[in-house]
Amino acid sequence: MEIVEIERSIIKKYRKELWSPFIKAVKEFSLINEGDKIAVAISGGKDSLLLAKLIEELHKHSKVNFDVCYICMDPGYDRPNRALLEKNLKYLKIPAEIYDSEVFEVAESITKGAYPCYMCARMRRGFLYAKAKELACNKIALGHHMNDVIETTMMNVLYAGNFKTMKPRLKAQNFEEMELIRPLYYAHEDDIKKWRDHVGLMALDCACTVTKSSESYTRKKIKELIRDLKKDNPEVEKSILRSAENVNCDMVLGYQIGGEKHSFMEEFE
């Protein structure tokens, strides 16, 4: 498919499913503002590749003046996946720089092969922060979509015993004046898959050389749970997403603000 058709499909064919949710998140959460320099983090997966094209279109047509660069970290992909990454960038005409690292190898070494995914994610995030800062960016755009948000929320409730979600906008803890933004916050994964298939894109999945798994067992179980719940309540995804906007602190046993823990027992002291 010609690049003009690919770009037009985002604005026309998938306007309701992709472009409108993207613009809604950008406006509602003030994700991209005058004078920003956005580093779009590209893993090579369908989500980050779509995000790059969405931001590219916004950059072309927006009245808001902002700058953008596209950064892609190779954490240690094998040759076929590295080749596929390069092919996808060329196919979509994304002017991304690929930076090599040894995140897969180091994460496996540190964790001795036991559950390396958490360490890998932290190291990849740290690499992105450092590279974005080096490029004088003040924001990093990540490709997490609505399903990532609600699945993470449910994983925390059911497996970690806490209530935490993914924010659409987040201040970096260890990098001053740096923010993470998630412009695909309102986009459904199924719609992203439809666009991927429509444009004939063969995107990377996880491409991890350590676990050889595209998805954790826990996340798969959560996907299955939500899929089953949708049979009885088609709005269940929306309810989970909105639950993080409607937390009633008067009716919880404990909560944290700024790292400080509070208990409902404080009202009896």
**pLDDT tens digits along 234-250:** 999 999 999 999 999 99
The strand order across the sheet containing 169-171 reads 96-100, 67-74, 37-42, 139-141, 179-181, 169-171
How many domains is the chain partitioned into structurally?
1
Is the confidence at residue 144, as pLDDT, over 50? yes
Global pTM value? 0.90
Neighbours of 1 (CB within 10 A): 11
The domain that contains 222 carries what CATH number? Answer: 3.40.50.620
Count H helices, E strands: the chain? 10, 8
Q: Which residue has the higher pLDDT, 169 or 102?
A: 169
For residue 66, what are the domain limits?
3-268
Lowest mean pLDDT among 141-145, 147-151, 171-175: 171-175
Cβ–Cβ under 8 Å, residues 38 and 137 = yes
Q: Which residue has the higher pLDDT, 79 or 233?
A: 233
Cα of 160 vs its chain's centroid, Å: 20
Residues with Cβ within 8 Å of 112's Cβ and at least 6 positions away in sequence, in order, are none
Is the confidence at residue 116, as pLDDT, over 70? no
196/200 Cα distance (integer angstroms): 6
Task: Count how many Cα atoms sit within 13 Å of the Cα of residue 217 in the half-sphere of its side chain.
Answer: 3
